[in-house]
Amino acid sequence: MAIESTVKGKYLMFKGKPLVREGNQICYGDLQKDEYVLYLMIIANKTVKVGDKEVEVPAKVLGQIIKSDPSGSPFERMVKQFDRNDLYEAFTAGLIQLERLAKK
């Protein structure tokens, strides 16, 4: 069974891997090549004043490390789940977990 992307076009690359955002979901990693990928879901936003503008930034983010092998159920494929209070913390925590798994 092949995995088909719903997001078409060129991807933003970070450390040689695709970083794709669609709505409130972010996926980091290559589903075809990497054993594990990082999945982030923005649960809640907060409004922050920047200069004279107000912008929405993520306030609560759910992160998951997922096996890219599609043969198991979604529950079996999830290796680690965590939540953080902003996108930077969640992405950093996910990168650390991916690096630890790569060393095994």
**Average pLDDT of the chain, as a whole number:** 90
Whether the CB-CB separation of 36 and 67 falls below 8 Å is answered with: yes
Low-confidence ranges of the chain (pLDDT < 70): 1-9
Question: What integer pLDDT is reported at residue 1 of this predicted model?
Answer: 36
Segments making up each domain of the chain, as ranges: 25-103
**Dihedral angle sign, alpha carbons of residues 34, 35, 41, 47:** negative
What is the model's pTM?
A: 0.84
Measured CA to CA, the distance from residue 85 to residue 97 in angstroms comes to 17
Question: What integer pLDDT is reported at residue 3 of this predicted model?
Answer: 45
